[in-house]
Amino acid sequence: MFARGWNSRSRQKRCGQLGDHSPQRRDETRTHSSRRRLARSFRGGWLAALSVALALPLQSPAPVAAQMLAVEQWIQALDSQRYADRERATRRLLEAGRESWPALRSALRSPSPEVRRRAAFILRDGQWRRLRAEFADFAAQPDSRLDMEEGMWLVSRIVDPESELADLRRQLDALAERVRARLPDNPPPRRIDPKLAMRVLRETLFEDARFAGALNDYVDPRNSSLASVLKRKRGLPILLSHVTIAVGRRLGWPLRGVATPGRYLLKYDGARVPTGFPADDVVMDAFDGGKILSSDDLQAMFPGLGLEGLLAGDSERSTLRRMLNNLAYHLEQTGDGETATLAAEFQAMLGEDPM
């Protein structure tokens, strides 16, 4: 078969998508002229080299250069006139794993549609297998050890598989330094007025850096990827809230996400304000330009609901479940049901929300 999927249903779907490229169909569409050219290239010895490459064991003691040559030959075989060679090369590249990824990324620019299609499939299969294993390890940790930024990075790789955690952290560090530059020299950031802290966050992130809610393309899956949100400066309420939280926590501010009905907010936790300030939550709507919400604003947004219970902080595990739920739904809405299934699988790994 062409490939091995992570479940029988997705395997059938992918094989169905690529099944049109059968030996009979491809043979019928190739002209006699192209066959003669291909035959002449084979006479030069390429076919013999290909046969050796396809038979090369993956655990061969051959030098790295020889293994890379084999990978290149397997990639060439993705466009072989023989269906069996194309299938065998695909299996070899799947088994080669990450060692083949750099060459496969180059193959995405191949003039051959068949090579591009198969290279994209092999890369996606490998990246998803790796990501699934990493997310399973992450989700198995106790709540006290869950790193929210690492979790958001893992979620973002469903959409942006090449994103790197270190790069995302550097971007958040840089934003925190821009906030710090707006603060007075004294007192230290963790001891300043919570209202000032939230105001400077709003000015830096939503006025200067121009982060904003994704009003015109709300269902775009990139709005659920931390990597894309940092790049595009657009996102869902929950992502914008947690960008703000990640920046604020670098300055020692006790910020928390708040899962209110219909709109995810964030707050400076009134239970942890510095000495000398009122023990009141300072609430922000990141999706509305970082607007600081008064008690009257909150009552108007949530009429008839008690604010004390409404503003309870959200846990890391629950927050990531919400992010994955949004992502799965928006992937489904935009026609990518297969990736939506992966997001839903990750959501299930995190377990059910407590009752």
* Blockwise average pLDDT, block size 10, the chain, 355 residues: 42 42 45 44 42 48 68 88 90 84 87 90 89 96 95 97 96 97 89 96 97 96 98 97 98 95 93 93 96 92 77 91 97 95 96 64
Task: Name which of 115, 40, 129 is nearest 75 in CA terms.
Answer: 115
pLDDT at 5: 38
**How much is the pLDDT for 63?**
61
Tokens of 139: 């989700």
Distance CA 259, CA 310 (A): 8
User: Amino acid identity of 321?
Assistant: R
Q: What's this model's pTM, rounded to 2 decimal places?
A: 0.76
Q: Using CB atoms within 10 A of its CB, is residue 198 exposed (0-12), middle (13-18) or buried (19+)?
A: buried
Kindly state the DSSP code that residue 44 receives in the 8-state scheme: I
Structural tokens at position 292: 């600081």
Strand residue runs (E) in 234-338: 234-235, 255-260, 263-268, 282-285, 291-293
Question: Within 13 A of 66's CA, how many CA atoms are on the CB side?
Answer: 12
As a whole number of angstroms, the distance between CA 150 and CA 137 comes to 12
| pLDDT of amino acid 310 | 79
Tell me whether strands 212-213 and 234-235 are parallel, antiparallel or unpaired: parallel
Structure tokens at 154: 């893992």
Tally of CB atoms within 10 A around 200 = 21
Cα–Cα distance for residue pair 149/135, rounded to 1 Å: 13
- The CA distance from 225 to 159, in Å, is 6
Domains and CATH numbers, the chain: 24-137 (no CATH), 145-349 (3.10.620)
